[in-house]
């Protein structure tokens, strides 16, 4: 049914559909009978064998909704009902900004991919804070932090610090997004020149805000287009400054082997073409830093085998965006069923046995 509907909707602008779906999920999520129906049709039944622990927190299973899908924390209730075990909202910027001109999301169904050049559109941190103040209990919510387009790179630290200070009481963890290809120069923040000071400042801010409690986890999200030396620099600095983990990866600028007519569009590519590269990065990071960092695998997760591959490479958690778009509302349920089948085939009784090892 979703595929037939998808073919119909695919004639319309991708972002218009996205906004409509998120608005619908926002409404459904807030109405208990609709939420219950969503849960019954799409939810993931509790299963201790799928539970994982990452940075001391228990997650019902490893699959979360990746940054950028629910930019404004509209669908927290619905995300839980749809079976996700955590959500990353945002990316938020301090001040409201329009993002790039539309259209700015392009489908490549032939490739199981999307290209986007959103450029962090949003209503800014005050609007997001109000939403998160009323967030439902039960679903771990992380916030992805970004800088405004017109903030000079040298002042980026101020944007990230302001966001962390404002949002700290209202989220469970924070992802420092320095890897979107759609904000000019943002990816330069991944170099030692900028990153060391940025992470040191944010870590200090988190410690101050935490008071006597342990600071909430800070993660950094990296681009798949970094080379190994650059990835190792990020990992070294993440360890040096006491970060909880790395989210790997954001979208890619690579365009190898695509068939979709939209392949020439400017922006970041997500989905199946990114899968192998992001898994390879997880494996490399796990080899280099052992269990000292929590790794979150993102890129081309469409089914249970994709989740398995990222966990086997060393991720403790995984996230998906494009797979959810193409597979539809039962994505999490089907993917976790597939994961359970794969665990049985591999002789793994519970994910706790393998995750993070
Ligand atoms: C339309 C769109 C918007 C996105 N916006 C963000 C964002 O605001 N912040 C972010 O960290 N990642 C963003 N991403 C990247 C995803 O979170 C994810 O890292 C990437 O798409 C790879 O995962 P996937 O193959 O499952 O889509 C966006 C992706 C898409 C397709």
Query: Which residue of 64, 114, 251, 279 sits with most ligand 1 atoms within 8 Å of its CB, as the best mutation to test the pocket?
Result: 251
Q: Where are the domains of the chain?
A: 2-353
- pLDDT for residue 207: 97
* 291-310 per-position pLDDT tens digit: 999 999 999 999 999 999 99
pTM listed for this prediction: 0.96
Mean pLDDT of 128-142: 92
- pLDDT for residue 357: 60
Compute how many other C-beta atoms are within 10 angstroms of the C-beta atom of residue 326.
19
- Please say if the pLDDT value at position 232 is more than 80: yes
Q: Are 235 and 244 in contact (CB under 8 A)?
A: no
Nearest CA-CA partner of 87 in 208, 177, 176, 172: 172
Is any atom of ligand 1 closer than 6 Å to the C-beta of 279? no
CA dist 32 and 206 (Å) reads 35
- pLDDT for residue 29: 85
Is any atom of ligand 1 closer than 6 Å to the C-beta of 299? yes
Nearest CA-CA partner of 296 in 203, 191, 229, 221: 221
CATH code for the part of the protein at 2-353: 3.20.20.70
Active site residue 179: no
354 pLDDT band (50/70/90 cuts)? confident
- Measure CA 286 to chain center: 19
Nearest CA-CA partner of 106 in 207, 189, 17, 2: 17
- Please say if the pLDDT value at position 7 is more than 80: no
Lowest mean pLDDT among 32-46, 247-261, 302-316: 32-46
Q: How many Å lie between the centroid of ligand 1 and the Cα of residue 235?
A: 21
- Please say if the pLDDT value at position 212 is more than 70: yes
Is any atom of ligand 1 closer than 6 Å to the C-beta of 252? no
- Angle (nearest 5°) at CA 253 between 102 and 71: 45
Collapse the DSSP code of 119 into the 3-class scheme (helix H, G, I; strand E, B; otherwise coil) and give the result. coil
- pLDDT for residue 138: 85
- pLDDT for residue 137: 87
Q: Are 270 and 105 in contact (CB under 8 A)?
A: no
């Amino acid at each position: 049914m979703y595929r037939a509907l998808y073919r119909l909707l695919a004639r319309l602008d991708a972002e218009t559909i996205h906004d409509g779906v998120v608005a619908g999920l926002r409404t459904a999520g807030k109405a208990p009978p609709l939420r219950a129906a969503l849960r019954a049709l799409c939810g993931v039944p509790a299963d201790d064998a799928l539970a994982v622990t990452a940075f001391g927190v228990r997650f019902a299973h490893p699959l979360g909704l990746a940054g950028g899908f629910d930019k404004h924390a509209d669908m927290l209730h619905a995300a839980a009902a749809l079976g996700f075990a955590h959500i990353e909202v945002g990316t938020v910027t301090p001040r409201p900004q329009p993002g790039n001109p539309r259209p700015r999301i392009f489908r490549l169904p032939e490739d199981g991919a999307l290209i986007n050049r959103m450029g962090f559109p949003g209503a800014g941190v005050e609007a997001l804070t109000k939403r998160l103040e009323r967030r439902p209990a039960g679903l771990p919510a992380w916030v992805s932090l970004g800088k405004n387009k017109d903030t000079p790179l040298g002042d980026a630290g101020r944007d990230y610090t302001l966001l962390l200070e404002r949002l700290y009481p209202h989220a469970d963890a924070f992802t420092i997004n320095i890897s979107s290809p759609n904000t000019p120069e943002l990816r330069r923040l991944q170099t030692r020149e900028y990153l060391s000071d940025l992470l040191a400042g944010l870590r200090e801010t988190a410690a101050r805000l935490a008071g006597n409690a342990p600071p909430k986890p800070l993660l950094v999200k990296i681009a798949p287009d970094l080379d190994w030396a650059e990835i190792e620099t990020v990992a070294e600095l993440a360890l040096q400054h006491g970060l909880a983990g790395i989210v790997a990866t954001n979208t890619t600028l690579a365009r190898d082997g695509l068939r979709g007519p939209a392949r020439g569009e400017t922006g970041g590519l997500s989905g199946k073409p990114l899968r192998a590269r992001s898994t390879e990065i997880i494996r490399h990071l796990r080899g280099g830093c052992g269990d000292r960092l929590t790794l979150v695998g993102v890129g081309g997760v469409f089914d249970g085998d994709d989740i398995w591959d990222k966990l086997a490479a060393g991720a403790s958690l995984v996230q998906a965006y494009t797979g959810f778009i193409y597979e539809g509302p039962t994505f999490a349920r089907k993917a976790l069923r597939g994961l359970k089948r794969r665990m049985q085939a591999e002789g793994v009784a519970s994910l706790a046995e393998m995750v993070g090892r």
